Amino acid sequence: MLSVSNVHKAFGDNEVLKGVSFSVEKGDVVAILGSSGSGKTTLLRCLEFFEKADQGTIKIGETQADLHTASRQKIHELRQKTSFVFQNYNLFNNKNAIENVELGLTKGHGVSKVRAKEIARRSLEEVGLADRFDYYPSELSGGQQQRVAIARALAVEPEVIFFDEPTSALDPELVGEVLETISKLAKKGVTMVIVTHEMAFARDVATKAIYMDKGVIVEQGEAKELFTHPKEERTRQFLSRFLEGYDYVI
């Protein structure tokens, strides 16, 4: 459904991605794991064309593009099939929850205002915010703001949603509500690629896991397998550091 091949990206002489390839099937939840600085954010940003890769290809459904040379038309076409959830929510502060969700539909996808309102309501209900339609970001907790961002991502019915550390800006007590929202989407079969440091969540919710280090994929496979029987020593060390003392259980 999504296939990414041989992504390279350097900033100056800092080679951040050194040939990253992976694929995602419909309904997969792919957790991307790795220490800070390993290139996870850059990878997602390249796939969304926020950053221009030096080399690589992406294919979503039948639409394929070169990550370095894709035309604006091609980029637009691919973006119609994806959504992105940022670490810091990226909501418009002067728009309330429902307007934030509507905007993605009317501006990005040409949906009429009336229809957009209807879809936005449904999406906000889905993330548990039926009672917050007209609240502005400043009136919402971080967890609620991130759920608005998830509703916005969901509303356009993308083929895949990319998440870049969706809970790392949150106070610890608000992490659970966002992870639960994402788990619910996983159960409904929404295809997602999630960069996260929430290891227990990744282990319990992801179908596939990718462990990255220094711009390469060290290991990837079924999530359960990677977490219980990592093949590479580097993966083992990384996991043992993180799985101590986790406190999130689905």
Name the site residues for ligand ADP (rule: CB under 6 A). Answer: 11, 14, 16, 34, 36-42
Is residue 33 within 8 A of residue 238, CB to CB? The reply is: yes
Report the partner that residue 138 touches, choosing among Mg ion, ligand ADP, none (CB closer than 5 to 8 A by kind): none
> Interface residues for Mg ion in 51-80 (CB under 5 A)?
none
Give which of 201, 181, 212, 205 is closest to 246, Cα–Cα.
201
Between 53 and 119, name the residue whose CB sits nearer to ligand ADP.
53
Between 44 and 190, name the residue whose CB sits nearer to ligand ADP.
44
Distance CA 101, CA 84 (A): 13
Residue 42 binding Mg ion, by CB under 5 A: no
- Nearest approach in angstroms of CB 131 to Mg ion is 32
Report the partner that residue 131 touches, choosing among ligand ADP, Mg ion, none (CB closer than 5 to 8 A by kind): none
Report the partner that residue 34 touches, choosing among Mg ion, ligand ADP, none (CB closer than 5 to 8 A by kind): ligand ADP
Is residue 41 within 8 A of residue 164, CB to CB? The reply is: yes
- Nearest approach in angstroms of CB 168 to ligand ADP is 10
- Nearest approach in angstroms of CB 49 to ligand ADP is 14
Between 177 and 219, name the residue whose CB sits nearer to ligand ADP.
219
- H helices of the chain, in order, are 40-47, 72-79, 97-103, 109, 113-126, 142-155, 172-187, 199-205, 223-228, 233-243
Between 41 and 181, name the residue whose CB sits nearer to ligand ADP.
41
Residue 41 binding Mg ion, by CB under 5 A: yes
Is residue 138 within 8 A of residue 92, CB to CB? The reply is: no
| The token pair that represents 232 in the structure block | 């590479």
Between 31 and 127, name the residue whose CB sits nearer to ligand ADP.
31
- Nearest approach in angstroms of CB 117 to ligand ADP is 35
Report the partner that residue 112 touches, choosing among Mg ion, ligand ADP, none (CB closer than 5 to 8 A by kind): none
- H helices of 55-112, in order, are 72-79, 97-103, 109
Distance CA 126, CA 122 (A): 6
Between 33 and 140, name the residue whose CB sits nearer to Mg ion.
33
Any idea what DSSP says for residue 35? -
Size of site (CB under 5 A) for Mg ion: 1
Residue 196 binding Mg ion, by CB under 5 A: no
- Nearest approach in angstroms of CB 216 to Mg ion is 16
Beta bridge partners of 164: 195
Distances (CA, A) of 110 to 68, 72, 103, 116: 27, 17, 10, 9
Residues contributing to the site for Mg ion (CB under 5 A): 41
